[in-house]
Structure 1
Amino acid sequence: MFETFIADLRETLLSQPDRPALITSEEVISFGSLARRVEGILRALDDMPPGLSLIVGHKEPDCIAAMIACAIAGRAFAFADRSTPMDRLEQIASTAAASHILAFGQETLLGGLPVQTLKDLPTRTPQLELGAALSEEGPFYVIFTSGSTGTPKGVPISRGNYMALHRWYTPLLGAVRPEGAHVNHASMAFDMGMFDLWPTLSLGRPVHLLNHANNIMPRNNIRHLTRVDVASPASWASTPSLLQLMCTDPQFTAENLPDLRFFVVGGEMLPGALVQELQTRFPQAQVLNGYGPSEATCATHLYPISVADAGADGAMKIGCAVGENRMQIIDADGEDVPAGEQGELVLSGPQVISHYLPRDHPANAALNQEDGINTYRTGDLARLDVDGNLILLGRIDRQVKLLGNRIELNEIERIAEGYSAVRKAVCLPQKDAADRVTGLQLFVEPLAGATCERDGLFAHMGKHLSAQVLPRDLRIVSAFPVTSNGKLDTRSLLELPTARTPSRGIAASDTGLMAEAVK
């Protein structure tokens, strides 16, 4: 029951006032200090119009306190980072039907909605009185899709959706070094931010909030995580892209982070080479391949990867659905396909949302009910192995057609990453003015100290791909840019300045902050 969860969180805030709760690069906030901030915001909410709170800021403790205050008061919230463009902020406020704004500082904000500045509110002696009855069907929070094309969709997570996740995931996280901290990288506007925050705080454990300014400076993150005056990190959740950036620093090891024993990796396809590197650097840690779209409350699968799994050919296993989640693979006619055959992944269960916002958004066609249970057609291409383990093959919308050949961009990336000198590869289509695919562009990050030779890489890829679908344009990058959610930033990647070189062998250290064309 959600009311029990909130009552337990309230007790945690009140019963251990001296334990650290939030650790930023500037300050350490105890549970007691967090409770006093929450109480101050609860009092201010009494003067706000009823309805959803739009919280605007970054990862300031006051923004976290505002989320907790909304949950205690029984108000839904949506979070928007202060870097959000104004037109998108207007879309979020309108789509979520926000009645007011809780802003950390003096950000440029929308006209017409009442605004409460969080950093100006006094802290108060915490009472943390719970609001009215909190129904499972009521909204907990709303997150928004990237909105890279068209109007961003709102994904309303109900209290019941969250509790279905909480029931199975929080005990799993709780078994990981109870005194240790959890590392958060993702934006609080992203589902993985919520996945980091609520289970961890409910366990009375602190959260390390990584600053996005350090996305391409892993040493700064390591300095933050190894501060001697705060809790040592024990668990971590992020995308593969963020972990690959961290692994470019030789200090990202168990020697410097001895309590880090639990990695949840999700949001993107997971390369086996990354898992092998993590298993080498953190030999006592468990690495779990996570999967779950925002529409299913962030995580429906968590598969512990063995050394044998990491070294196997092909895409990584994701295992069976966990908790109360269910899955099936269907063909174009909606019929189940046999094990080993690929099709579209469909998820069902209490973690799946009932609808998008706005309710008339065309994407709502992917959300349905069968026998009273919510279902979601994910758009992910997948298959089941003989043991019933899920294996993702990529997005259906990442299939492109070139010279009459249907091409899986994910497959090209996996094959390139199978070359001995490659850490990570990204394949993007090149298009003409009519949006027709005219070619493929391959971006490659070499392994540290390795030289990536065009001839060797393409000879390797030619063993698995026909000549017609081999990318012709090869670019070497020193590190792939990531978004505030830790996912690959393809827009920034395409905008990298390009240097041309006659060299046929390029090392990662040669490329600087640009993509190097290899012809």
Structure 2
Amino acid sequence: MPENILDLLEETVSKYGDETAVCDPASSLTWNQLESHARGIGSALCREGADTANMPVAVFAEKSCAMLAAMFGASYAGGFYVPINPEQPSARIASILSVLEPAAVIVQKSLLDTLNNTGWKGRTLLLEDVFDETENKYRLREKRTGINRDTPLYGLFTSGSTGVPKCVLISHGDVLDFIGHFTEIFHFAHSDVIGNQAPFDFDVSTKDIYSSLSTGARMVLIPREYFSTPARLIDYLIDYHVTSLTWAVSALCIISGLKGFSYKVPTEIHRVMFSGEVMPARQLAIWQKYLPDALYVNLYGPSEITCNCTYEVIDHVVQKGEKLALGKVFPGRKVILLDKDGKQVDEIGAEGEIAVSGESLALGYYHNPEQTKAHFVMRDGVRTYLTGDLAMIGEDGKMYFAGRRDFQIKHMGHRIELEEVERGIDSMDGVERSCCAYNQERSLIIAYYTGTIDKRDLHIALKNKLPVYMVPNRFVHVKSFILNKNGKIDRKQLTNLEVVQ
């Protein structure tokens, strides 16, 4: 039984060493090569003094085979990896690095200027320089003795209500436990070809990476730009013989919504899994029409419980307007609903906050004990994560997602604190005050604001402040806000405000 992810990697290398582990349009690595490069990168980190146990190593690069090797390299050095997406604005990257205080940043050479523009002054290693580093077996052996199930494996940043991103910290044991159940329940095999859609800083990719690692299945990295042209994307899936998709809902809807199947059908796909937001029944029905024999699974769970805690196998053709249940609980977990007083509810029609306990709960939020204490609580002597998500118990006794308890939303597969968006808007010159709302039915973030700045100028300015998925889809310039009895903006009155013409 592997004690850590590196044990699992080496087991797979021993079985399938000369076979392709991962590929992208520009490169590929066998399992032997992936391990060798990861060991070399780990050795480089040790040589540079960036090998402090349990310390973060930021990996700032475009998604690629080399980036994956760097992530495992951080583990070989005794630390944990934190992927940083270069598509984010410099201000947010700077905020992430400030929270993280990494031992080092491994950066792709073409992104060095972008990193420097964030103000980062710490240790920097160029990915291209360390990729072919020679392994130092003695140093890696020394580090390996301190890596166990409780050692941090990776950190992923999510939106924070204070305007500062939060880093969810996941251990080796968390991933080993989850991925063991995941690959067994859904029958992942060495013969699978996994089409990776999600960027490495998005936890959907965790399922791709470690399903591949635990079975020896090939992982095919799909560039982000392919999703802007469905025909190109489908050709790529067909050319690489992809059999399995674990994608964000929004990514699947690109193919079905833009009539990609009228071009070609990737008939080798036999498993389609989705998460991150509610899957529209109309879009799922299109997938079922063209790939009727595929397995379809609705997955639910936030990053803080290591990917997913429930799953619903869709064993029928969905009907227009049908809601999908959250489904069964993964082994080793317990999922319940709590009312406003923290009491469990289980009667038909009841609604409550989803609370999760058992295996694979995150270690907490890195460098953020206050938020860790607020969300990871002891309940009846058991550590429990309060998700902030609401669910309702249907007539069939199953749970159905029912929105958020707070001002957090799920948009384009990402969890977003509307308060963070509002803080970004409020920081702009020419803005007096702002308030955001979310139109669930149309998947639109709507920003209401007062001030002198033009809507177009505000939109452009925010693109340099927030990640693209957090920038509002619509801006409404209003003369003033209506306040409630407590002096706060009355969010129920936003659609009744007088608009600046």
Task: Identify if the C-alpha distance between structure 1 residues 495 and 313 changes in structure 2 by more than 3 Å, giving closer, same or farther.
Answer: closer
Does residue 224 of the first structure (1) align with residue 236 of the second (2)?
yes
Q: What corresponds to 1:77 in structure 2?
A: 81
CA distance in 2, matches of 1:194, 1:279: 25
- Equivalent pairs, count: 421
Q: Are the structure 2 counterparts of residues 113 and 203 from structure 1 closer, same or farther at C-alpha, using a change threshold of 3 Å?
A: same
Once the two structures are superposed, the pairs formed by residues 311-390 of structure 1 within 5 Å of their partners are 311=319, 313-337=321-345, 338-362=347-371, 364-390=373-399
Using a 3 Å threshold, how does the CA distance of structure 1 residues 146 and 24 change in structure 2: closer, same or farther?
Answer: farther
Written as runs of structure 1 = structure 2, the 5 A alignment for 1:279-298 is 279-298=288-307
Q: Is the 8 A contact 2:82 2:156 kept in 1?
A: yes
Amino acid at match of 1:55: V
What is the match of residue 12 of structure 2? 12
Question: What percentage of aligned pairs have identical amino acids?
Answer: 24
Give the aligned partner of residue 469 of structure 2: 489
For residues 342 and 83 of structure 1, do their structure 2 counterparts lie closer, same or farther at Cα, with a shift above 3 Å needed? same
Deviation of 1:214 after TM superposition, in Å, equals 2.4
Instruction: Output aligned runs, 1:390-469, within 5 Å.
Output: 390-397=399-406, 413=441, 425-429=442-446, 431-433=448-450
Partners of 2:374 and 2:470 in 1: CA distance? 28
Q: Does the residue aligned with 1:258 lie in a helix, a strand or coil?
A: coil
Alignment of 1:153 onto 2:166: yes
Q: Choose between structure 1 and 2 for higher RCO, CA contacts under 8 A separated by at least 6 residues.
A: 2
Provide the rounded CA distance (Å) in 2 between the counterparts of 1:301 and 1:225. 27
Structure 1 residues 398 and 12: alpha-carbon distance in aligned structure 2, compared to 1, 3 A threshold: same
Determine the C-alpha separation between the residues in 1 that align with 2:263 and 2:334.
36
- Three-state SS of the structure 1 residue aligned to 2:344 is coil
1:105 aligns to 2:122 (yes or no)? no
Q: Give, in whole Å, the separation in 2 of the partners of 1:347 and 1:488.
A: 30
Q: Secondary structure at the match of 2:3?
A: helix
1:466-490, CA deviations, whole angstroms, 9 ceiling, x for partnerless residues? Answer: xxxxxxxxxxxxxxxxx9xxx9936
- CA–CA distance in structure 1, aligned partners of residues 23 and 475 of structure 2: 34
With normalisation by structure 1, the TM-score equals: 0.74
Q: Which moved more, 1:273-282 or 1:80-89?
A: 80-89
Task: Please list every run of 5 or more consecutive structure 2 residues that lacks an aligned counterpart in the other structure.
Answer: 410-436, 452-462, 477-501
SS at 1:392's partner residue?
strand
CA drift of 1:398 comes to: 5.8
* Equivalent residue, structure 1, for 2:495: none
CA deviation profile, 1:31-84 (whole Å, cap 9, x unmatched) = 233233223212212213223211110212111001122233432111102233
Partner-residue secondary structure (3-state), 2:471: helix
Q: Distance in 2 between matches of 1:340 and 1:159?
A: 38
SS in 2 for 1:257: coil
| 1:154 aligned partner, one-letter code | C
SS at match of 1:6: helix
Match of 2:256 in 1: 247
Match of 1:34 in 2: 34
Q: TM-score, normalised by structure 2?
A: 0.76
Counterpart of 2:152 in structure 1 is: 139
Q: Do 1:399 and 1:409's aligned partners in 2 also have CA atoms closer than 8 Å?
A: no
Within 2, Cα distance between the matches of 1:251 and 1:215?
A: 11
Structure 1 residue runs without a partner (length 5+): 401-407, 414-424, 435-482, 497-519
Whether the 8 Å CA contact 2:446–2:472 is kept in 1: the answer is no
Within the candidate set 55, 60, 64, 1:60 is matched to: 64
Aligned partners of 1:143 and 1:189 also within 8 Å: yes
Q: Contact (CA 8 Å) 1:356, 1:364: kept in 2 or not? A: no
Work out whether residues 445 and 473 of structure 2, in 8 Å CA contact, stay in contact via their aligned partners in 1.
Answer: no
Tell me how far 1:430 sits from its aligned partner.
Answer: 5.8
